[in-house]
Amino acid sequence: MPIPFIDLKSQYDLYKNEILHEINKVLDSSQFIMGSQVDVLEQSLAKYVQAKYSIACSSGTDALLVALLALDIKKDDEIITTPFTFIATAEVISLLGAKPVFVDIDENTYNIDENKIEEKINHKTKAIMPVSLYGQCSNMDKINEIASKHGIFVIEDGAQSFGATYKGKKSCALSQIGCTSFFPSKPLGCYGDGGAIFCDDEKLMKKIKMIINHGQEQRYKHDVVGINGRLDALQAAVLNVKLKYFDQELKKRQEIAKRYDENLQDIVQTPILGEDNTHVYAQYTIQVDNRDEFCDNLKQFNIPTAVHYPIPLHLQNVFKYLGYKKGDFPISEKIANRVLSLPMSPFLTKEHQDLVIEAIRKVLS
């Protein structure tokens, strides 16, 4: 069997009976939108991250969009974020006519450099949106402290870090709003698109619930502009099963990462864990010289790899209008040329781990 980059098939085989049972319950009930599966999921998610409220929604992207809408972000507002992330983080800011203001990253964690945030804050700044990239959080205490000093919000983009902890507290419960994604390849993934928003404020929760449902609390009575951002019941059914096994899976991810660390850290830059963090390894990402040539060589050993992300956002065509140029965020640019993610999932066998390690050692010998 070829080495899978992410092994969703083995996971499905393991939970198949339970998942099909829950899916059948939804089909029998004909309750496809919202309903008890979604209610149960929201309660379990809130309990899991220790947030007061969890609102399930249609994707990680919509979670971020809805968070911004709930905080009344509008045209010409500025939101500080990182240029080294998936496009969705900054895309939703632009969609609202607000301006993504980028801050370079920390060379070790690849997350926003908290020491460079304050110089970008002005009267238009409304929020900071740190991204917990690859599965570990930013320095959230410092970011929250800066935000509260300036009276602005913090929205954590925890699309890749569900289950990770910072100072013992779970990602997505570390600031006013936390957002995550249940895209199939995420550590906790469903079988389509899905996401969730977390907060502790009841008023905010009610507004978020309205926004994901066309701005209505009562049917056909619309009080704010919203979207169709609900999670469907079939996805909730899948997540309700997978959540039960999630911590076991995280443990396996961490064991595989440890094995990669021990066998690769003498020849490549392996992930560096922030001292206050645990990591969920949504991606196990190394740094190498001559990355593209290295990838081609690994291909000859049938090792699948991926680059997250080859072009930082300030150099993407879509953000040309922001006026950034090459050299503006040197660490992001350097790291974008060097990173490479290795096969990672709780079901990656020991044999496959060994093949990855041996191939890397051969290519670099």
* Interface with ligand PLP (CB under 6 A): 59-61, 85-86, 88-89, 131, 157, 159-160, 181, 183, 193, 195
Shortest Cβ distance from residue 161 to ligand PLP (Å)?
A: 9
For residues 142 and 247, what is the distance between their CA atoms, to the nearest angstrom? 28
Strand order in the sheet with 125-129: 53-57, 195-199, 177-181, 153-157, 125-129, 78-81, 99-102
Shortest Cβ distance from residue 131 to ligand PLP (Å)?
A: 5
Shortest Cβ distance from residue 301 to ligand PLP (Å)?
A: 27
**Whose Cβ is closer to ligand PLP: residue 22's or residue 193's?**
193
Shortest Cβ distance from residue 323 to ligand PLP (Å)?
A: 24
**Whose Cβ is closer to ligand PLP: residue 89's or residue 240's?**
89
For residues 197 and 132, what is the distance between their CA atoms, to the nearest angstrom? 15
**Whose Cβ is closer to ligand PLP: residue 282's or residue 303's?**
282
**Whose Cβ is closer to ligand PLP: residue 88's or residue 298's?**
88
Q: Are strands 284-287 and 339-342 parallel, antiparallel or unpaired?
A: antiparallel
For residues 203 and 13, what is the distance between their CA atoms, to the nearest angstrom? 41
Transcribe 144-203 into DSSP letters: HHHHHHHT-EEEEE-TTTTT-EETTEETTSSSSEEEEE--TTSSS--SS--EEEEES-HH
Shortest Cβ distance from residue 313 to ligand PLP (Å)?
A: 11
**Whose Cβ is closer to ligand PLP: residue 59's or residue 278's?**
59
**Which residue from 37, 99, 115 is spatially nearest to 323, judged by alpha carbons?**
99
Answer yes or no: are the C-beta atoms of 194 and 239 closer than 8 Å. Answer: yes
**Whose Cβ is closer to ligand PLP: residue 160's or residue 341's?**
160
Answer yes or no: are the C-beta atoms of 315 and 326 closer than 8 Å. Answer: yes
Question: Residue 325: helix, strand or coil by DSSP?
Answer: coil
For residues 18 and 2, what is the distance between their CA atoms, to the nearest angstrom? 27
Cα-flanking dihedrals φ and ψ of residue 246, to 5°?
Answer: -60, -45
For ligand PLP, the nearest residue by Cβ is 60
Helix (H) or strand (E) holding 351, with range, is helix 350-364
**Whose Cβ is closer to ligand PLP: residue 195's or residue 346's?**
195
For residues 173 and 165, what is the distance between their CA atoms, to the nearest angstrom? 9
**Whose Cβ is closer to ligand PLP: residue 190's or residue 233's?**
190
Shortest Cβ distance from residue 268 to ligand PLP (Å)?
A: 23
Shortest Cβ distance from residue 91 to ligand PLP (Å)?
A: 9
**Whose Cβ is closer to ligand PLP: residue 68's or residue 131's?**
131
Answer yes or no: are the C-beta atoms of 239 and 225 closer than 8 Å. Answer: no
Other CB atoms within a 10 A radius of the CB of residue 19 amount to: 18
Shortest Cβ distance from residue 286 to ligand PLP (Å)?
A: 18
Shortest Cβ distance from residue 159 to ligand PLP (Å)?
A: 3
For residues 334 and 84, what is the distance between their CA atoms, to the nearest angstrom? 11
